[in-house]
Structure 1
Amino acid sequence: MSRWDSWDESDVRVRPNKKGSRPRTKDSPTYDDAESGRVVQVDRGRYTCAVASAEGAEDRVVTAMRAKALRRTAVVCGDLVRLVGDTSGAEGTLARLVQIDERRTLLRRSAEDTDDAERVVVANADQLLIVVAAADPQPRIGFIDRALVAAYEAGITPVLLITKADLAADPADPAHLVSHYSHLDLTTVISSRADTQDPDRTRLSPDAVAQLRRLLCGQVTALIGHSGVGKSTMVNALTGADRAIGGVNMITGRGRHTSSSAVALTLEPGPEVEQPLAQRSWVIDTPGVRTFGLAHVDPDDVLAAFEDLVEGSVDCEPGCAHESPAGGCALDAYVAAGHAGVNGGARLQSLRGLLSSLTGSQSPSQEKTLGTA
C-alpha cells in the first residue's frame, strides 16, 4: 500500500482563503426585547419614530439610527420597525433601528417612465389621497391617472381630493373633473375656502374637512400632489399641525416646494367620530411632485386602473397592446358603443398616452389637462 492510500480527509489541511467569508461564530440576535415603532420622518440618516407609551398616554418620539446590518435597506416614512437601546425619547438620546417589519403596502414611483431608479414614497399606507386643484394650478388628468395606477399596483385604495373649487373660472369645472371618473369606484371630495375673502386660503370649508376626517379615521393615508395644490393646507386642517404652505408661480403656474420630506402626523379627533378607534389614524404629507414615473409598473397592469375600460379588453386580440384598432384592440368599439360613458373617448386616450410613455414613444410632458385637445 502506498502512503497516498493510507491518508484520509482528516489528514488534509485546506489553506485559508483570504478573500473568502469567515464562518459564522454566533447566531443572529433575535431582538426579543426590542420595542415597536412607526417611522414618521426620515432626515439625513436619522429616523424619527413614534413608540407607543402606556395606554392613554401620547406616543414617545424616539430618534434612531439604522443598524449596520440594514445599511443597504431603505427605511421610509410609514415603516413599522423594531428599536433597541435608549428608547426613552429623552433629548439627546439615540436608539438603534434593528429590524423592519414586513410591509403591507409600498407606494413607489420613478423620476421618468424609462428611469429604472425606483423611489419609495411611503410604506404601509391604506389609502392614497390624490390632491389636485380645480384651478391655480390647473388639474392634470395625466397625473391623476398615474397616481391611480400606482395606487392599484400597490394595493392601496385611492381617494380624489379637488381643492380650490372656489377659484375655478367656471363653477362646473370641479363637476366636470368628477364626471371624468364617474365610471370608477373612486371616492371624490371637493374642497374650497370657508371665507372667499381669506387672502391666504387657509380656512377651508368645514364640510370638506369633516368628510375627509370620516374617510381617514382608522386608516394610514398618504397625500400626494403637485406643489401649490393645497396638500399642506389640508394636512394642517386635519391634524392641527403647522406645515409650511407655498403659493403658485404666476409665470409658470407651478407650485413652490415647501415640504422637503414626508412626515406622518396623527389625525386630530373631531365630532365626526362617534366612538374611540381601536387603532391610530395617520396622515402622511409628502413633498410636492413634478413627475410621477411608472417604470416599476408592467404595461399589462396599467389597464387595471382603468376600470371603465377593463371589460372591453375581453374582446381584444391575444397579446393586444391596446394601441389602435389596427392591432386588434377592441377598446375603440367598446367606447364607441357607449359602454365606458360619455368620457370613454378621453379615458381611452389617457390610457394610450400612459402606455406610450411607458414604452418610450411619448413624453409624460405631453399629457394634457382636462378639456385640452
Structure 2
Amino acid sequence: MFTAKAGDKLTGSVVSAYGLYYRVQTELGQIQCALRESLRQEAESRHSVVVVGDNVDVELLVDIDPGEELKKKKTYGAIFKIYPRHSKFSRPKRGKEEIEQIVAANIDQMLIISAVKRPQFKMGLIDRFLIAAHQGSLEPIIVLNKIDLEHTLDLNRLEQIYKSINVSMITTSATKKIGLDKFREVLTNKHSIVVGQSGTGKSSLLNAVEKGLKLKVGEISDYSQKGTHTTAAVEMHPLSFGGYVVDTPGLKYLGLWNIEAEDLRYLYPEIAGYSEKCRFRNCLHMSEPGCAVKEAVEEEQIYPERYESYLKITGELQAEESFKK
C-alpha cells in the first residue's frame, strides 16, 4: 500500500456524526472528517446536510502512511460531495420553524423494537414507526422483546394484525437468549436501523448477537416502568456476520414529518383500500356517514386495534395542525 497524499480523493460512508465532524469509513479505515467550506456554511443554516449512512467523497487534508494508526480526534479529510439518498428515517425537528431531521440514510430496513412489558407496550408508537418507514422507503420489521416476562399481550393476534399488512414480526428475549438466531438472520447482510422506546432492549439484543459491540445498557425504573437513555448519538456499526446496524437513542414519542391528517388514511394500507368506497371523497373515517372503513371494522375486515390507532394519530395530527395556525 502506498502513502495516501493530501489532496487524494476517497469515497466512503458516514458512520457517526458529532456536531460538524464526521467519521467516514474508507478504504484506509475510519477517518475523522470536517466539511468543505461550502457544505459547512450550508450545515450551519439547515439540518441534515450530512447524516449517518450517507455515501460521500472526501479529500485528504494530510498524508496517511501505510500502517499508520488513525487517531480518533485528528481531522484527516474534508467531505466535498454527498451522493443522492435512496432511503431515510426522518422526523420533525421543532423550533422557530419546523424542519426535517434525517436520522440516517441509505438504510434497507427498520427494526422496531418493543417490549411486551417494562416499558409498557405501545401499539400507537409502533404504528408511527411503520408510517415513518413507509415514508422513507424502508422495510419495517417488528421485534417484540422480553417475551420471557409475564404479560397479557396476545402475541398470535398481534402477529396476524401486522401480517395482514405484510409486516413481519419476530419475538425475542435478550436475557433468555430466545429468538436470537432469527434476529441475527434478519440483520445479516443488510443495512438496518434499530428504533424504539428507551428500555425495550435495543442495545441488549445487539450485544447478544454481536459480542464486540459492548453497547451501554440501561435499566427500567421500578416507579415509572420507563427506560433510561443509553445511546447518546446515532452511530453505524459493522457486523461480523455481514451488514451494518444503526443504533439510535430511545424515543417516547415519534413526530411524523410532512404528513397531514387527511393524508394518513393512505399510510394505513387496509384503510386506504376501503377509502374509495366511502360516500365522501374527503372522509376521514371518524364520524362521517356512509363510511366504508367503519363498516369494514364492524364486519371485522379491518382490525379494530389498527382502526383505533388510526383514529388516535389522526386526532393528534389535527391538534398539531390547529396549533400551527
- Fold shared by both chains (TM-score > 0.5): yes
Instruction: Identify which of 187, 192, 213 aligns with 2:173.
Output: 192
Instruction: Identify which of 172, 180, 186 aligns with 1:209.
Output: 180
Classify 1:190/1:299 alpha carbon distance in 2 versus 1 (closer, same or farther; 3 Å): same
2:24 maps to 1:49? yes
TM-score by length of 2: 0.85
Given that 1:87 and 1:95 are in contact with CA atoms closer than 8 Å, whether structure 2 keeps it comes out as no
Q: Deviations over 1:237-294 (max 9, x none)?
A: 233300100011111121100100011111221xxxxxxxxxx511110111122011
SS of 2:86's partner is: coil
- Measure how far apart 1:94 and its partner are: 2.2
> What letter matches 1:66 in structure 2?
L
- 1:144 alignment partner in structure 2: 126
- Measure, in 2, the Cα distance between the counterparts of 1:35 and 1:108: 27
Classify 1:149/1:282 alpha carbon distance in 2 versus 1 (closer, same or farther; 3 Å): same
2:107 maps to 1:125? yes
Residues 165-244 of structure 1: pairs in structure 2 closer than 5 A: 165-170=147-152, 173-193=154-174, 201=175, 204-205=177-178, 208-240=179-211, 241-244=213-216
Given that 2:262 and 2:282 are in contact with CA atoms closer than 8 Å, whether structure 1 keeps it comes out as no
2:33 maps to 1:64? yes
Instruction: Identify which of 296, 300, 320 aligns with 2:283.
Output: 320
- Measure, in 2, the Cα distance between the counterparts of 1:303 and 1:151: 15
- Measure how far apart 1:98 and its partner are: 1.1
> What letter matches 2:243 in structure 1?
S
- Measure how far apart 1:361 and its partner are: 6.9
Classify 1:78/1:349 alpha carbon distance in 2 versus 1 (closer, same or farther; 3 Å): same
> What letter matches 1:191 in structure 2?
T
Classify 1:123/1:323 alpha carbon distance in 2 versus 1 (closer, same or farther; 3 Å): same
2:248 maps to 1:286? yes
- Measure how far apart 1:115 and its partner are: 7.8
How much is the aligned-residue C-alpha RMSD, in angstroms?
2.4
Give the unaligned 5+ runs of structure 2.
Answer: 1-6, 44-48
- 1:39 alignment partner in structure 2: 14
- Measure how far apart 1:318 and its partner are: 1.4
- 2:314 alignment partner in structure 1: 355
TM-score by length of 1: 0.74
More strand by share: 2
- 1:25 alignment partner in structure 2: none
- Measure how far apart 1:235 and its partner are: 1.6
Q: Identify the range of structure 1 (294-303 vs 38-47) with the bigger mean alpha-carbon deviation.
A: 294-303
Given that 1:116 and 1:296 are in contact with CA atoms closer than 8 Å, whether structure 2 keeps it comes out as no
- 1:78 alignment partner in structure 2: 53
- Measure, in 1, the Cα distance between the counterparts of 2:282 and 2:127: 23
- Measure, in 2, the Cα distance between the counterparts of 1:76 and 1:93: 18
Given that 1:239 and 1:266 are in contact with CA atoms closer than 8 Å, whether structure 2 keeps it comes out as no
2:236 maps to 1:264? yes
> What letter matches 1:67 in structure 2?
R
Given that 1:152 and 1:304 are in contact with CA atoms closer than 8 Å, whether structure 2 keeps it comes out as no
Given that 1:238 and 1:268 are in contact with CA atoms closer than 8 Å, whether structure 2 keeps it comes out as no
Classify 1:362/1:234 alpha carbon distance in 2 versus 1 (closer, same or farther; 3 Å): farther
> What letter matches 1:35 in structure 2?
L
- Measure how far apart 1:87 and its partner are: 7.7
- Measure, in 2, the Cα distance between the counterparts of 1:107 and 1:180: 24
- Measure how far apart 1:35 and its partner are: 0.9
Q: Deviations over 1:284-327 (max 9, x none)?
A: 1011112201142243442343222222112022122232233x
Give the number of equivalent residue pairs: 300
> What letter matches 1:264 in structure 2?
M
Given that 1:219 and 1:282 are in contact with CA atoms closer than 8 Å, whether structure 2 keeps it comes out as yes
Classify 1:281/1:301 alpha carbon distance in 2 versus 1 (closer, same or farther; 3 Å): farther
SS of 1:94's partner is: strand
> What letter matches 1:318 in structure 2?
R
- Measure how far apart 1:181 and its partner are: 2.2
- Measure how far apart 1:44 and its partner are: 2.6
- Measure, in 1, the Cα distance between the counterparts of 2:317 and 2:257: 7
Given that 2:162 and 2:169 are in contact with CA atoms closer than 8 Å, whether structure 1 keeps it comes out as no
> What letter matches 1:189 in structure 2?
I
- Measure, in 2, the Cα distance between the counterparts of 1:130 and 1:65: 32
- Measure, in 2, the Cα distance between the counterparts of 1:254 and 1:219: 30
Q: What is the percentage of aligned positions where both structures have the same residue?
A: 26
Q: Deviations over 1:203-253 (max 9, x none)?
A: 632xx2221222222221100011100001112223330010001111112
- Measure, in 2, the Cα distance between the counterparts of 1:52 and 1:300: 47
- Measure, in 1, the Cα distance between the counterparts of 2:161 and 2:51: 33
Classify 1:111/1:348 alpha carbon distance in 2 versus 1 (closer, same or farther; 3 Å): farther
